Each structure stands twice: as structure tokens, then as C-alpha cells.
């Protein structure tokens, strides 16, 4: 927790006077104008209190404090101005959520008393937030541990989904990543009603009995009902409720909600859960991602692109180390091809075709090529030239 205070004004003499008067009692920084203030607040230094002049060139104090609130919501904000009027005071309180509105000249004792009140307010706000965060983390931990005891299969699935969810949310540059990760960790809490064997069969791609399917379809809503009893988890509960909802509106729950009306966290969960299921059936990321591509209408295109970006080349290619005779049309070189004597033939990233493969085989017979050759094999593409299959 910080006690650092930032004073902002376009009058350098005033800032020096404040530093002399209050610098010994408080940890105090100064900023000459709004731009310098935003650099301070946006950096690594955290501020408990920001005191800003109202009238400054380029950006007034109210706008500055409004911007600071968007960057550091816990920071307590104060306006200090020589142009006091009711309209300015109301605007400062409503837009910048200002804690105090002071007029110049302000006595040092009065200003010090206000700063003490501001620091006290900051400690109250941060202490309450930290208590709530610890309480939420404790609730999530208890629920997660309970799930691990009752249904280890569901617990393992939730943890795998959480990893993919975190990666997608980070790729999407979303704020408050913890909310999406928490939703993923709690996404399977409704599976406490399911036998573990049911989830085992589902993970292997097996068919569920009608009564098992009915129970499984209910788990997102059961999860929401459980989480809705915990204060401040309402948004998480909605993410969990819509995790099986398809982007085109089909799926659970059948309420007509579709597209971007589905909570973003739920759209991320939909992709992460299905990718985890596909990965359980396939051996590589590329093959699992190809399964999702075949039913693209189920997923938010933006979320799917984020997953694709996270996977990189593994989204579309399997890697392999092959001999020259095993190379096929459509493969992409993952390393340069060299002869035994060190002669460079083809660079990394070159896509192979029937002509190149025939030339490589001819060179290999005459001079010898370093084997194995690292290649990327496109998944989902089955174009092959019969001439490639022959060894030439």
C-alpha cells in the first residue's frame, strides 16, 4: 500500500512551494502540467492521492482527474483552484469523482488536513478491495477443492480450460484477466451432479445416454445457480451459464441470445472447452484446431482468431522430421535444406511442390542431403500429387 502523493500544476513556483511546505511530512512528487502527470500515473509508481489545479493549458484538471480515474481507480482525487464556482465543483465531483474541492490560496494546515483525510480514504478503499479479493479467492479455492474431491475429472478439465482461457484473454488484451480465469476454474462446478465415468466417456469422444446428456446439458445452469449466491460473482455466474452457448444462438440455454449478446467470457469458454475436448481426441494442436474450424459457426470469430494467434504455426501445421523420400506436396520446410558438403539448397519457410521434391531427390542421389529434414505438415489439406508418392 502506497502513501505517495502527486501535485499537478502549470505553475512551477507553486509546485516548489508545495514541495518545501509539505515535502518533509509526505512522500510527494510534482508534475508540471497534465501530460507530465499522466506519465507519472501511467508508470510504475502508484499514487494514493492526486491534487490537481483546475485551469491548465491543453487539459483542465477535471478532465485530467477523469483520465487518472480510468488508469488508477483507487487513487483519491482533489481539485485545487483559484477559480471556484458551483458549476466547476459539480463537474469535478460528477466527472472526476473528486474527494475534495479546494480554493486558492489554501493554508498549509488546511491542505495537510485534507491530505490526511485523503490518505485515510485511500487506505479504507484499498483495504476493503483487498478484503473482497481475498474473500473471493477463498470462495473460489473452496469450490475448486470441493470439485477436485467430488469429481477429479471435472476438476482436471477446468484447470486445462483455464490455461487456454488465460492465453486467449491475454491475446485479446482484455483487462482484469482474473475474471476470465476464475470463470474457467469454476466452469465445471455444475458437474458435481455428474458421475465421473460420464465425463471420462465424454472426454474420449464417446456417446452419452439420454439421461446423461440431460444432466450434462444442465451443468452450466447448475453452476450459475451455485455461484449466484456469492456476492460479486454475478458476472462470473453469467459466463458459466452461457459456456455451452454457440455464437449462432444454438446450444444451452435455448433463450434466443446469440452473437455478441453472449457474455464475452462465455464466448471464450466455448472455444477453450471445445478445444480441450478436441485435443483429448487428437494428438496435436493443429488437428484439434482443425476440428473447431469445421464448425466455425459455433464460435465468435474474434475469439477463434485469438486462439489461432496463441497457437501460432501449431494451429495449422504438424511438425515432423522426415527423410527426402518421405517429403510430400504441400509440406513447408521448417529449416533450411543443405547438402552433406554444406551447399545451401532451399531456405526455411519454402512450400514444397512436386517439381522441388523431384529436384531434391535427384540432388540427394548425386551429392547427399542432410537428413532428417524438419517440415510442417498442413492439417486438413489432403492434396497429393501421385508423382510425389513415387520415389522417382
For 9-39, the pLDDT digits (tens) are: 988 998 999 999 998 899 999 999 999 999 8
Domains and CATH numbers, the chain: 5-127 (3.40.50.2300), 151-313 (1.10.3210.10), 316-389 (3.90.105)
Whole-number percent of the chain with pLDDT over 90:
28
pLDDT digits (tens, 9 = 90+) for 134-184: 777 777 777 888 788 777 888 888 989 999 999 999 999 998 888 898 899
Give pLDDT tens digits for 34-91.
999 998 988 888 899 999 988 888 888 888 888 888 888 889 999 887 765 556 666 6
Whether the per-residue pLDDT at 382 is higher than 60: the answer is no
What is the band of 127 on the pLDDT scale with cuts at 50, 70, 90? confident
Distance CA 276, CA 20 (A): 61
C-alpha cell at 292: 473447431
- Name the one residue in this structure whose C-alpha cell is 483520465: 67
pLDDT tens readout for residues 254-313: 888 999 999 999 999 999 999 998 888 887 888 889 889 889 999 999 999 999 999 888
Q: pLDDT confidence of 94, banded at 50, 70, 90?
A: low
Structure confidence at residue 184 (pLDDT): 93
Name residues whose C-beta falls within 8 Å of residue 97's C-beta, 6 or more positions apart in sequence.
65, 69, 77
Sort 201 into a burial class: Cβ within 10 Å, 0-12 / 13-18 / 19+: middle
Percent above pLDDT 70 for the chain? 92
Q: Is the pLDDT of residue 96 over 70?
A: no
The answer to whether the CB of 3 falls within 8 A of the CB of 119 is: yes
Task: State the pTM of this model.
Answer: 0.61
* pLDDT value at residue 85: 57
The C-alpha atoms of residue 193 and residue 336 are separated, in whole angstroms, by 54
Amino acid at each position: 500500500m502506497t502513501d505517495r502523493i502527486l501535485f499537478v500544476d502549470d505553475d512551477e513556483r507553486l509546485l516548489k512551494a508545495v514541495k518545501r511546505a509539505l515535502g518533509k511530512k509526505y512522500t510527494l512528487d510534482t508534475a508540471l502540467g497534465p501530460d507530465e502527470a499522466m506519465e507519472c500515473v501511467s508508470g510504475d509508481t502508484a499514487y494514493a492521492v492526486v491534487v490537481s489545479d483546475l485551469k491548465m493549458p491543453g487539459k483542465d484538471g477535471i478532465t485530467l482527474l477523469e483520465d487518472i480515474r480510468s488508469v488508477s481507480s483507487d487513487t483519491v482525487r482533489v481539485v485545487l483552484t483559484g477559480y471556484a464556482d458551483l458549476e466547476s465543483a459539480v463537474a469535478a465531483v460528477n466527472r472526476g469523482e473528486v474527494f475534495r474541492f479546494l480554493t486558492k490560496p489554501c493554508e498549509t494546515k488546511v491542505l495537510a488536513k485534507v491530505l490526511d483525510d485523503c490518505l485515510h480514504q485511500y487506505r479504507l478503499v484499498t483495504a476493503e478491495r483487498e478484503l473482497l479479493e481475498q474473500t473471493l479467492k477463498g470462495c473460489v479455492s473452496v469450490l475448486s477443492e470441493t470439485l477436485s474431491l467430488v469429481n477429479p475429472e471435472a476438476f482436471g478439465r477446468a484447470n486445462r480450460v483455464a490455461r487456454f482461457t488465460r492465453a486467449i484473454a491475454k491475446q485479446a488484451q482484455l483487462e482484469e484477466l482474473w475474471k476470465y480465469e476464475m470463470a474457467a476454474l469454476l466452469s465445471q462446478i455444475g458437474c458435481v451432479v455428474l458421475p465421473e465415468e460420464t465425463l471420462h466417456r465424454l472426454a474420449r469422444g464417446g456417446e452419452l445416454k439420454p439421461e446423461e446428456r440431460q444432466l450434462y446439458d444442465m451443468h452450466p445452469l447448475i453452476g450459475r445457480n451455485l455461484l449466484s449466491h456469492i456476492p460479486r460473482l454475478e458476472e462470473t455466474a453469467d459466463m458459466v451459464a452461457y459456456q455451452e452457448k454457440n455464437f449462432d444462438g444454438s446450444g444451452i440455454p435455448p433463450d434466443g441470445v446469440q452473437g455478441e449478446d453472449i457474455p464475452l467470457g462465455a464466448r471464450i469458454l466455448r472455444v477453450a472447452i471445445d478445444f480441450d475436448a478436441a485435443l483429448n481426441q487428437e494428438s496435436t494442436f493443429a488437428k484439434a484446431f482443425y476440428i473447431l474450424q469445421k464448425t466455425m459457426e459455433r464460435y465468435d470469430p474474434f475469439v477463434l482468431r485469438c486462439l489461432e494467434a496463441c497457437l501460432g504455426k501449431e494451429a495449422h501445421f504438424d511438425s515432423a522430421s522426415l527423410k527426402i523420400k518421405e517429403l510430400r506436396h504441400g509440406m513447408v520446410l521448417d529449416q533450411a535444406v543443405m547438402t552433406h558438403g554444406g551447399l545451401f539448397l532451399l531456405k526455411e519457410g519454402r512450400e514444397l511442390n512436386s517439381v522441388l521434391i523431384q529436384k531434391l531427390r535427384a540432388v540427394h542421389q548425386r551429392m547427399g542431403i542432410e537428413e532428417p529434414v524438419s517440415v510442417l505438415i498442413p492439417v486438413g489439406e489432403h492434396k497429393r500429387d501421385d508423382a510425389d508418392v513415387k520415389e522417382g
